[in-house]
Amino acid sequence: MGYGVTDRNLGDNLTGTAAVNEALTWLGTPHHHQGRVKGVGVDYSTLICEVYEKVGLMDHLDPRPYPPDWHMHQMGQLYLKLILGVCDPIEGPPQPGDIVLYHFGKCISHGAIVIEWPQIIHSYIHQGVIIQDGTKGRLARRIVGFFRMKRLKK
């Protein structure tokens, strides 16, 4: 089955499509904490930064450094604050190119790019950049909400 998104759901907005198609080029990249190199290693946070910077939806943003287990030891919403700097929350349903956030540990600490909801692409520990159903498995009860890049046309 081929993946890719057309503009049928986006109207004039092809930038969401561009984000999804760029994310798909990262498929199979190993998960590597704080990595940022396609085909070599990337984590959930740096994947989002690389994809949206590449398609012009955000300026260069580097969330590093952060320990691998940062979300287990604090209640502060550092990742949410980072996302809100470049995104607006949306009600849903999410469109291709939107971001879904998940709660792991003590705070919001994981994000993925929506391909076509509930299908997402993200970097997952021990699995690398994969496509999966964002409503199943360990993600099922952890959805916090959906977000759209501020530069993405409404």
Q: Report the predicted TM-score, pTM, of the whole model to 2 decimal places.
A: 0.86
- Going by the DSSP 8-state scheme, the letter that residue 73 receives in this structure is S
Q: What pLDDT is attached to residue 111?
A: 95
Query: Could you tell me the fold of the domain covering 7-149?
Result: endopeptidase fold (from Nostoc punctiforme) (3.90.1720)
Q: What is the pLDDT of residues 104-120, one digit of tens each?
A: 887 787 899 999 999 99
Q: What pLDDT is attached to residue 74?
A: 67
Q: How many CB atoms lie within 10 A of CB 1?
A: 3
22-36, 57-71, 78-92 — most confident range: 22-36
Structural domain spans, the chain: 7-149
Is 11's pLDDT higher than 50?
Answer: no
Which of 112, 44, 122, 106 is closest to 70 using CA atoms?
Answer: 106
